[in-house]
């Protein structure tokens, strides 16, 4: 069987060889607890802080502002709950403002806080998935304690106007959290110049190991820990750190920072080739999200008379990896993505969602082969659809 054509970089990137090599010693020889006061803890402790500095450098932060977690989802949950609970202790009411296209870990965190008396305002988006900064400002009240808006959507690729939204929140004295999991390492994201108080990152999005994430927390901002029982991470996240994984995330962050200036230029021709190829081979499909202001190498589409998950499974059998939605969200044949419904798409069309996300390991030859495989499988699935057959009758 030919090697898989991997077009699902937004879900995870393959760990870089330098990442795997850097992790190895901390699995075999330097396995001590970084909290230990003896020599066995020295090297892991030093490696932990080196990785912290490397992750901080990727986003222009101070190393002391980085909290390691077990995933980007945990970082989102820690930010949403930890910041809101501190604010709730200072006032009688607390309100969070977020959007309808956020990652499930953000929206689920808001729902969990609702039971504790924290009100959530979920802002709508336009047909391209954009949050209007003016709407954020219009919904801020003296009870608002947190705004949480993603920098970029892993599902539709749209980039949000983070600088504008953050400036509005800061002027009103409201904390601003950004889910930067899909953005960091793909587009410039520098907290030293952005009005951001907290930002979530994920190792696997950078070419690091899975199961590691980080939360940037601006110095001076208080956070209520959600895991208790230890003083790790300056008391903000208890539990023994995953030293090998964190070391790997640090190396991945350093490499991502060095490659960022050229990444868009490397991916743009491949994404254009994929788009042009699909236009020539298929009818009855459209791009979702903002066609101009989107993640590099990201192409999200909806295809008429095709169920997205069925197409992704068929592509996998033919050696092409793609996605039908956010990997953290349960997908079922009778439920369309809430993000796509928020764009105003009707449910049958929204169920035809497929995401292709490219990485520097892709080649023009792979893209050409992928287009052929996609077109063949779309034709096959449409041939099985009674709705498509009915529309095709003269």
Do 272 and 346 lie in one domain? The reply is yes
Mean pLDDT of 299-309: 96
Higher pLDDT, 334 or 238: 238
**Whether residue 215 sits in one domain with residue 115:** yes
Least confident of 42-56, 294-308, 379-393: 379-393
- Choose one of 197, 231, 255: the last residue of a domain: 255
Is a pLDDT exceeding 50 seen at residue 1?
A: no
Same domain? For 266 and 238 the reply is no
Please state the φ and ψ torsions of residue 98, each to the nearest 5 degrees.
-140, -170
Residues 116 and 221 in one domain: yes
Instruction: Please check whether residues 203 and 273 belong to one and the same domain.
Output: no
The string of DSSP letters for 16-50 reads: PHHHHHHHTHHHHT--S-TT-SSGGGHHHHHHHHH
> What mean pLDDT is reported for the chain?
94
Q: CATH number of the domain that 143 lies in? A: 3.40.640.10
Percent of the chain whose pLDDT exceeds 70: 95
Domain boundary among 255, 283, 307: 255
Contacts of 117 (CB under 8 A, 6+ apart): 88, 93, 94
Domain span at 73:
17-255
Q: Are residues 232 and 269 in the same domain?
A: no
Q: Nearest 5°: CA angle at 102, between 99 and 103?
A: 160
Nearest to 191 by CA among 56, 60, 54, 76: 60
Residues 247 and 285 in one domain: no
**Comparing C-alpha atoms, which of 283, 291, 270 is closest to residue 359?**
270
Residue 240 burial by Cβ neighbours in a 10 Å radius (0-12, 13-18, 19+): exposed
Q: CA 238 to CA 333: how far, in whole Å?
A: 39
Q: Are strands 213-217 and 285-287 parallel, antiparallel or unpaired?
A: unpaired
Indicate if 235 and 289 belong to the same structural domain. no
Q: With bands split at pLDDT 50, 70 and 90, how would you rate the model's confidence at 394?
A: low
Q: Same domain for 200 and 329?
A: no
Q: Binning pLDDT at 50, 70 and 90, where does residue 93 land?
A: confident
Rounded Cα distance between 299 and 366, Å, is: 15
* pLDDT of 332 above 50: no
How many Å apart are CA 203 and CA 210, to the nearest integer? 6
Whether the Cβ atoms of residue 165 and residue 197 lie closer than 8 Å to each other: no
- In this structure, the answer to whether residues 244 and 316 fall within a common structural domain is no
pLDDT greater than 80 at residue 388: no
Spatial CB neighbours of 359, under 8 Å, sequence gap ≥ 6: 6, 9, 13, 267, 297
Whether 386 has a pLDDT exceeding 80, the answer reads no
Give percent helix, percent strand, percent coil of the chain, each to the nearest 5: 45, 15, 40
**Partner residues linked to 309 by β-bridges:** none
The residue from 94, 110, 145, 328 that is catalytic is 328
Q: Are the C-beta atoms of residues 205 and 72 closer than 8 Å to each other? A: yes
Residue 145 annotated in active site: no
Mean pLDDT along residues 109-117: 91
Count of domains for the chain: 2
Handedness of CA 120, 200, 202, 358 (dihedral sign): positive
Strand partners, 97: 121, 147
Has this prediction a pTM greater than 0.75? Answer: yes
Q: What angle do CA 52, 68, 144 make, to 5 degrees?
A: 115
The reply to whether 185 and 110 lie within a common domain is yes
Backbone angles phi, psi at 214, to 5 degrees: -155, 150
Q: What is the mean pLDDT of residues 30-34?
A: 95
Instruction: State residue 333's pLDDT score.
Output: 45
Sequence length of the chain is 394
Name the band, by pLDDT with cuts 50, 70 and 90, for residue 27: very high
């Amino acid at each position: 069987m030919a090697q898989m054509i991997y077009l699902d970089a937004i879900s995870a990137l393959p760990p870089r060889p330098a990442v795997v090599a850097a992790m190895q010693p901390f699995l075999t020889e330097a396995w001590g607890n970084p909290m230990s006061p003896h020599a066995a803890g020295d090297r892991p402790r030093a490696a932990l802080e080196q990785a912290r500095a490397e992750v901080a450098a990727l986003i222009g932060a101070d190393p002391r502002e980085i909290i390691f977690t077990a995933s980007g989802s945990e970082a989102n949950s820690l930010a949403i709950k930890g910041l809101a609970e501190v604010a709730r202790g200072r006032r009688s009411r607390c309100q969070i403002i977020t959007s309808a296209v956020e990652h499930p870990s953000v929206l689920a965190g808001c729902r969990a806080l609702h039971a504790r008396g924290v009100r959530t305002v979920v802002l709508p988006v336009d047909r391209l998935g954009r949050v209007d900064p003016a709407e954020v400002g219009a919904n801020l009240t003296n009870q608002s304690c947190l705004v949480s808006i993603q920098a970029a959507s892993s599902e539709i690729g749209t980039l949000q106007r983070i600088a504008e939204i953050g400036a509005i929140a800061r002027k009103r004295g409201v904390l601003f959290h950004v889910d930067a999991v899909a953005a960091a390492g793909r587009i410039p994201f520098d907290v030293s110049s952005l009005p951001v108080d907290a930002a979530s990152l994920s190792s696997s999005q950078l070419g690091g190991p899975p199961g590691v994430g980080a939360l940037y927390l601006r110095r001076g901002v208080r956070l209520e820990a959600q895991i208790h029982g230890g003083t790790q991470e300056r008391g903000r996240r208890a539990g023994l750190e995953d030293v090998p994984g964190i070391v790997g995330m640090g190396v991945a962050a350093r490499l991502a920072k060095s490659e960022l200036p050229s990444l868009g230029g490397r991916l743009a021709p491949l994404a254009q080739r994929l788009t042009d190829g699909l236009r020539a081979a298929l009818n009855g499909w459209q791009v979702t999200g903002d066609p101009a202001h989107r993640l590099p190498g990201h192409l999200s589409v909806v295809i008429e008379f095709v169920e997205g998950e069925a197409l992704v499974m068929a592509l996998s059998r033919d050696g092409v990896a793609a996605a039908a939605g956010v990997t953290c969200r349960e997908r079922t044949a009778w439920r369309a993505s809430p993000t796509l419904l928020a764009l105003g798409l009707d449910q049958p069309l929204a169920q035809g969602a497929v995401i292709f996300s490219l990485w520097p390991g892709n080649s023009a030859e792979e893209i050409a082969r992928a287009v052929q495989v996609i077109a063949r499988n779309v034709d096959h699935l449409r041939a099985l659809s009674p709705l498509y057959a009915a529309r095709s009758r003269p």
